[in-house]
């Protein structure tokens, strides 16, 4: 049976249809790649804009540190560290003491802050006592000030020191497991609705009889109780770790630089693993007091690390004219890595050690070693890792898709994001080195 041969006109029409279809598919692919590129550029720009906020503005948040123990003769003794200038403006406004604001701010960063605190001690105590409360067996304990107020620097930031002793009446409410009164500590210091900072966290180190450990209090979970389940306490530290990474523009930009500088999934996995191992080691060592490096040293190096990792990618683009990063070749070295890859991992590991010190400094726990402390630190670290993995899972597939469908576009997205990250890292480095933020 003979088949009819298509006429030249029909063949031309068929080729025309196929060409239009190919053009349409190509247009759709380019449109999708462009959309992904825009999303990546927007993400990088947002990170840079967030990072551009002056560091001196409390980082939009604040941390209160409390060491609470059983007092001799009964009751609870709480030693509080509160950010000085924030305490001055909050207490002055809420307690209607304008003179405290004038006196307190005139002595800010002079080394004589304690003079203003003691001159207006009643204002400070009223403000703090209303927002930091202790109860025993469900009955409120009465606070009183112990000694004079002091001032010192914590990670380069002026902090006010206040000691309160809470007299707790004999009550019938007990923790059935220990047959002791259930101690509850609640903190709503520097609340969001005051309008100065958001997301204030209170890091509580406690020793109430056999109950020894740490707790993280915030607006979502403002209260700790000795009757609290250990899972709930660890959950608070998981959230605290996640929030710390999300609120730390420097750590996010460092991670973004790692992702952009990775050609394959293997690269980003190895880089993230190297970073995780390194910062986990120094985080645990610093948090339990074995390693102690001043924030004045740690913070500038963290900023420098951001710039270095981003600049390494830009150097590779310049050195290879972008070709190896647009269409990566298969390396023949050990584990499929080139010498440059191994150098990059070594740099990431070294800077990861420094970032771990930064994580520990932000947590600010100061208590003797215990298994409870180790558990809290590990859970905090897991919270950091969960967010880190989530960011990688969102950003790297978008970048890989862009590089695959529109290689040149993907290359320029990486260059633009890396250049912005490097610029912010260098600005932060100079700012922190000179003590400007």
Parallel/antiparallel/unpaired status of strands 201-208 and 63-70: parallel
Both tokens assigned to 6: 């298509």
How many alpha carbons lie under 13 Å from residue 257 in its C-beta half-sphere?
A: 33
Q: What is the pLDDT of residue 233?
A: 72
Query: With b meaning 16 or more CB within 10 Å and e meaning fewer, what string describes 111-145?
Result: eebbebbebbeebbbebbbebbbbbbbeeebebeb
Whole-number Cα distances in Å, 141 to 214, 219, 266 = 21, 22, 57
Residue with tokens 């597939």: 397
Which residue ranges in the chain fall short of pLDDT 50? Answer: 1-59, 172-177, 324, 326-329
What confidence tens digit (pLDDT) does each residue in 147-165 have?
A: 999 999 887 789 999 999 9
Q: State which H helix or E strand residue 133 sits in.
A: strand 132-136
What confidence tens digit (pLDDT) does each residue in 386-416 have?
A: 998 999 999 999 988 988 888 888 888 889 9
**pTM beyond 0.85:** no
What confidence tens digit (pLDDT) does each residue in 166-222 have?
A: 998 875 444 444 557 789 999 999 999 999 988 898 989 898 888 888 888 888 889
Neighbours of 230 (CB within 10 A): 11
Q: Which of 211, 235, 236, 210 is nearest to 222 (CA)?
A: 236
DSSP string, 167-180: E----S-EETTTTE
Q: What is the pLDDT of residue 107?
A: 92
């Amino acid at each position: 049976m003979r088949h009819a041969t298509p006429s030249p006109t029909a063949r031309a029409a068929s080729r025309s249809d196929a060409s239009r279809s190919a053009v349409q598919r190509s247009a759709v692919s380019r449109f999708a790649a462009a959309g992904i590129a825009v999303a990546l550029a927007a993400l990088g720009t947002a990170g840079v804009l967030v990072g551009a906020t002056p560091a001196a503005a409390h980082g939009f948040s604040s941390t209160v540190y409390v060491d609470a123990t059983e007092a001799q003769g009964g009751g609870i003794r709480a030693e509080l560290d509160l950010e000085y200038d924030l305490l001055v403006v909050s207490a002055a406004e809420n307690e209607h003491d304008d003179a405290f604001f004038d006196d307190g701010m005139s002595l800010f960063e002079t080394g004589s802050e304690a003079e203003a605190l003691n001159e207006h001690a009643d204002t400070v105590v009223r403000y703090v006592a209303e927002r930091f409360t202790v109860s025993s067996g469900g009955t409120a304990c009465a606070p009183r000030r112990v000694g004079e107020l002091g001032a010192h620097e914590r990670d380069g930031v002026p902090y006010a020191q206040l000691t309160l002793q809470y007299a707790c009446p004999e009550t019938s409410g007990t923790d059935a497991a220990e047959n002791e009164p259930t101690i509850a500590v609640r903190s709503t210091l520097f609340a969001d609705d005051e309008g100065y900072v958001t997301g204030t966290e209170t890091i509580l180190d406690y020793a109430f009889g056999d109950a020894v450990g740490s707790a993280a209090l915030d607006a979502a979970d403002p209260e700790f109780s000795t009757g609290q389940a250990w899972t709930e306490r660890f959950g608070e530290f998981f959230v605290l770790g996640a929030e710390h990474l999300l609120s730390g523009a420097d750590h996010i930009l460092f991670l973004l630089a790692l992702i952009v500088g990775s050609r394959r999934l293997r690269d980003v996995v190895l880089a993230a693993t190297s970073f995780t191992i390194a910062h986990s080691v120094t985080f645990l060592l610093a948090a339990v007091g074995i390693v102690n490096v001043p924030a004045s040293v740690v913070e500038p190096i963290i900023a420098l690390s951001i710039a270095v990792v981003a600049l390494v990618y830009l150097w590779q683009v310049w050195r290879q004219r972008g070709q190896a990063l647009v269409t990566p070749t298969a390396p023949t070295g050990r584990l499929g890595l080139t010498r440059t890859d191994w150098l990059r991992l070594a740099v990431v590991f070294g800077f990861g050690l420094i970032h771990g010190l930064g994580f520990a400094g932000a947590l600010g726990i100061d208590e003797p070693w215990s298994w409870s402390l180790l558990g809290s630190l590990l859970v905090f670290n897991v919270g950091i890792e969960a967010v880190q993995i989530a960011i990688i899972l969102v950003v790297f597939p978008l970048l890989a898709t862009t590089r695959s469908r529109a290689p040149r576009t993907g290359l320029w997205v990486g260059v633009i994001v890396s250049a912005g990250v490097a610029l912010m890292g260098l600005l932060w480095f100079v700012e922190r080195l000179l003590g400007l933020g």
